[in-house]
Amino acid sequence: MKRELKDAANAVEDASNSRALVIAARAGFAVSGLLHLLVGFVAIQLALGKAGQSGPADQAGAVAQLAAQPQGLLLLWAGFAACVALALWQTSNAVFDYGQLEARKKVGKKLSAAGKAVVFAVIALTFAASASGNSQTSGQSTSDFTVAIIKAPGGAFLLIAVGAAIAIAGLVFVVLGVKGSFKKELRLPPSGTARSVVTGLGVVGYIAEGVALFLVGLLFIISTVNANPRESTGLDGGLRALREQPYGVYMLTAVGAGLICYGLYLMVKTKFARM
């Protein structure tokens, strides 16, 4: 029985390292990058008071923009396939990789890969829902999720924990951007200029993504403390809340530009990622 399980695990690992899956997984980075580009542009439009022209500043809104394009259905299913491949690849990393690292680092790497797998699986589901005509804005779905959770025993504490986890993830992104730790995931180009461009996009992009995640987590916590879970409206709600702060227009514009940089970085990562 143990041998059969080992053979099955080896087969799964070999499949996850197949050339076809790796190519599809790299395409997943490009798809995610495109979504971040669209969200970044919408965030800037939101800062300029033109958000109504492009829909919500979140991934669901970005997917809806793709669906509205010529051959939109084909784009949606292609995005779904690429994100599924990337989710499977990250799952393989979480299960099979990092065995050579010391225990603490190994756990951290595996948890990070598992978290990324969940993120890309959610994006894939967003593509599939839009392609099948059952799409819902992520803000509305997030609001429904928080209402359902807060009604459960201990739901408020769970929501605060979720918000704290998202906010901490945002701080981690900021640290990764400031320290340039993301470069470990890349095979940087030999040209000094190209290296600087890729590194610059990564630094700005990681910091902006971290700020956006921190805002989402903070919104979870604040809405739970205020006993108004309907205010938990995900990324779109977090960016709109940022705009209402002093100098919010400038901060939101900066975050939008940073998300565009992160999108460009992910597209570059399609070529340079260590797979």
pLDDT band, very low/low/confident/very high, at 2 (cuts 50, 70, 90): very low
Contact status, residue 262 vs residue 206, Cβ threshold 8 Å: yes
pTM of model > 0.75: yes
pLDDT at position 175 is 93
- Would you say 180 and 202 are in contact if contact means Cβ atoms under 8 Å apart? yes
Mean pLDDT rounded to a whole number for the chain = 78
Of 80-94, 106-120, 144-158, 261-275, the range with the lowest mean pLDDT is: 144-158
pLDDT at position 7 is 45
Domain range annotation of the chain: 2-272
**First-to-last C-alpha distance (Å) of the chain:** 31
Question: pLDDT by residue (tens digit) across 186-241?
Answer: 888 888 888 899 999 999 999 998 998 888 888 778 777 776 655 555 676 777 77
Predicted local confidence at residue 9, as pLDDT: 45
Q: What is the pLDDT of residue 8?
A: 43
